[in-house]
Structure 1
Amino acid sequence: MTKLRNSEVIPVAELASKHLQSDISHFRAFSSSFTNDYVAKFNQSIEELRPQVNPPELSLKIFELKKKYHSTLHEIRTKLTAIDDMCLLYKNRLVVPRGQFRIYEVRREVRKENIKGVYSGLEATFMAIRKNMLKLESVGFNNLLIEELDDLRKQLLSISKELDGLVAQQKELFASNQEKISQLQSQVSFINKYGKLVFRNADPQRREVYTMAHAINEVRSQQRAMLKSE
């Protein structure tokens, strides 16, 4: 479970519980260890750990800030595309080399989520626009475009700082509960181990849901979808 992040322990355990309860009759036929009491205790261990490492209020704040963070990056990306389009409209008469706008470089920093790189890269974009405004106004370059992008980069920096602070709080909670986290991971491993044995020959496709790779991919896909949802 080396690839499993601390923040993924609870959702991965919930997924293991969901699969176990769905396939409980198969597990019982394979081993008498999987009783109703075992399932109840496993679910109880999840609920006991949740408030200790992922308090609802803290979790909600982190989630909302992550959504704002990704939304702001998306808005910056959209405006960079608009600038690029305006450059293309003006390409036959453009006196200013497109490279001066640093669009490629800023997009790269946006993809890397390098906030400092985005911040400094946009400054170069602003300088190129201001310096050549008279030549570029006819295709839509204006001070409002600069102001909107400047507000977005300041917002991104502010969100990033606040998010870093909350994530640091959560890391402290993870650090102080490592023993319990490890115990829950061990329970998940136990369920996955038997799940792979139960379905090894009977249903190879079903067997895959009891691999950690499958669990991590599913949890991360769900998290990405939630961050992108309105």
Structure 2
Amino acid sequence: MGTRQIVPIRKDGWGNYSISEWDLKAASWQDFHPHSEYNMVLEGELFVAAGGDVKVLQPGDVARVPAGRMGRYWAPVYARMIGVYGPNPAGDASTGFEYWPLDSDLEIHPVDPTAEDPLEHLPGFTGVETWPDGPNLHQRPEWERNRGRFITNSPQSGSWNDPILSTWELERAAWTDRHPHTEFNFVVAGELIVEAAGERVVLHAGDSIEIAGGQLARYSAPKFARMVGVYGPNPHGLASTDFQYESI
């Protein structure tokens, strides 16, 4: 199992999100988090289990294990993911860490639905929630080369306390906006140019950038760029502004 922290966790807690890139090679991992955890598969095939529920994810698919649930992840061959932790303002500790290699591509450690799970009394959904990859759901004809898909929620739905995940792409186009919340972008493919606060950076596959809330930002792709986007919490439901689309 390999991992790198992009937006690292803080021992004293965090009110926004933590983001990492990680992979499993013929191995399994489990942990118990006091916060929600989202994983988007970039490559390979990932099995996810929680609360007796098991899902299989392919590239572009996303899974969420709710806060207060033991999550188990395994890749019989290989899987690479972007992981997003929801807010943990009190800095509560994660526990239950366990790693083991898989001896063959047929070995899958079963989930025992009768096993005691911490915080079993939590109301609501307790298994694994998934969002399969699919067509672009939020696209306007006048923005034909700015294609996006909000996965876990829509920022037009008012306030939210957990991060919102999206995938989006620019093709010979530029996009400008100003958000009241932080915005994080991880480049999956292509080249993305970002301009904000008087600075200009060029990002390639594997690079990422975070724009502070309230900051005007311009994103452009002279050829093509595909990103995983993460919106930070917006508990007051403040509106985003200054939308501008340009063809290149």
Quickly name the TM-score band, shorter chain normalised.
under 0.3
Higher strand proportion, which one? 2
Which structure is richer in relative contact order (CA contacts within 8 A, separation 6 or more)?
A: 1
Structure 1 length-normalised TM: 0.23
Larger Rg: 1
TM-score by length of structure 2 reads 0.22
